[in-house]
Structure 1
Amino acid sequence: MPNIKKIATTTICSVSVIIGIVLGNYSDEIRTSKAGLEIIGNAEACRNEPYNCPAGILTVGIGSTTGEIESRKYSDDEIAKRWVDDIKSAEDCVNRFANGFHLPQSVFDATVSITFNVGCSKMKSSTMYKYLNSGNYQKACDELPRWNKANGKVLNGLVTRREKERALCLSGL
């Protein structure tokens, strides 16, 4: 079995190719639009072999940490399927705890992106979700920049991601 540290310098897969596979083969399984997928995919990047993320969590594909992750090279199709499953989990959370079925597409996409990144357990009781449930989409979108820290430190990558999510969120209002 390969050493995970050794495969940390693995090959990078193309986010654009994975998005193409998802939109071509799985678009009937998810609601997230191409714009939402691009924010998530470009922020997470894509690797076709397992690696440990900065938080030390075993990850593969486009930010996938769920299920069994084997020490091997994953195909683009496998990465797309894993990503769809992870997107569906984030969408389920948004639908269940943030009135997702009634959100405008741009708000839904931005909310799925942050939920994908932060996790349902942290988002479901957030102020952002409370605003979404009350229909105050402007205030909900304005909450996004507050989620720019990991382990108490502001991360430039999260600042950039939240700016993009906020812009997308507000674009449909």
Structure 2
Amino acid sequence: MAQLNKKAGAAGAVCSVGAIIAIVLNAGHVRTNERGLELIGNAESCRRDPYVCPAGVLTDGIGNTHGVKAGVSKTDAQIAADWEKNILDAERCVNTYANGKKLSDNTFSAVTSITFNVGCPTMKQSTLYAMFRDGPAAWQSACNQFPRWVYAGKTILPGLVKRRDAERKLCLDGL
């Protein structure tokens, strides 16, 4: 444990994605299922202390960029509250722009994951969302759009390749 704490101190204090998922699921406010929350949480990881993400944004918790203050560490309860708010924002986007209320829980959770990662302003204009709006006949094609979203600028990021593959599988499992 001492070794883990030394390691965590160098990279920022880590927290348990599983513990945060349990808090969020217990609250019962999000529709995203456990598989979806695990996908998002494991892809984003969990950190108590603020850090600058690859996009150059001050981030904490599980991919939270709202109200992050340099030097301020968060508790599990604070991280869970921030994450739940961010998940609910992504879910509203999926419901509003991607036919979310008609999607199965697995498909909905996959679309929420990519929306959480990429952001609603970008996703609501995407081909992927348009295909979900087109209805069930286009949903398999929509799920197959996930692997296109692996770039940071012009660079393919291995972590995004892995995440999009998992999202695609979860999406297709819902059909």
TM-score when normalising by structure 2: 0.91
1:96-115, CA deviations, whole angstroms, 9 ceiling, x for partnerless residues? 11111111111100000000
Letter of the 1:100 counterpart:
G
Deviation at 1:8, TM superposition (A): 6.9
Given that residues 11 and 49 in structure 1 are in contact (C-alpha distance below 8 angstroms), is that contact kept between their aligned partners in structure 2? yes
Residue in 2 that maps onto 1:129: 129
Verify: 1:69 aligned to 2:75, yes or no.
no
Q: Which runs of 4+ in 1 moved over 3 A?
A: none
- Residue 35 of structure 1 is matched in structure 2 by 35
Name the aligned partner's letter for residue 148 of structure 1: V
CA 1:93–1:8 in 2, change beyond 3 Å: closer, same or farther?
A: farther
Query: 1:8 & 1:18 partners in 2: Cα distance?
Result: 22
* C-alpha contact 1:8 1:50 (8 A) present in aligned 2: no
Using the TM superposition, give the Cα deviation of residue 84 of structure 1 relative to its aligned residue in structure 2, in angstroms: 0.1
> Once the 2 structures are TM-superposed, how far is the Cα of residue 86 of structure 1 from its aligned partner?
0.3
CA distance in 1, matches of 2:40, 2:99: 21
What is the letter of the counterpart of residue 72 of structure 1?
Answer: V
**Matching residue's letter, 1:83:** W
Tell me the TM-score normalised to structure 1 length. 0.92
- Structure 2 residue 56 is the aligned partner of structure 1 residue 52: no
Of all paired residues, the percent bearing the same amino acid is 51
Give yes or no for contact 2:32–2:112 (8 Å, CA) kept in 1: yes
Residue 68 of structure 1 deviates from its aligned partner by 4.4
Structure 1: distance between partners of 2:69 and 2:168: 32
Q: Does structure 2 retain, via aligned residues, the 8 Å contact 1:48–1:79?
A: yes
Residue 9 of structure 1, CA deviation: 2.1
Task: Give the equivalent residue in structure 2 for 1:146.
Answer: 148
Aligned partners of 1:57 and 1:65 also within 8 Å: yes
1:169 and 1:70 map into 2 onto residues whose CA distance is 36
Name the counterpart of 2:87.
87
Offset of residue 70 of structure 1:
5.0
- Native 8 Å contact 2:47 2:60 kept in 1: yes
1:38-93 CA deviation, whole Å, 9 max, x = no partner?
00000000000101001110000000002343522100010000000000110011
The one-letter amino acid paired with 1:170 is L
CA RMSD of aligned residues (A): 1.2
State the one-letter code of the partner of 1:46.
C
Residue aligned with 2:60, SS: strand
Q: Which of 10, 18, 22 pairs up with 2:12? A: 10
- C-alpha contact (below 8 Å) 1:107/1:137 kept by paired residues: no
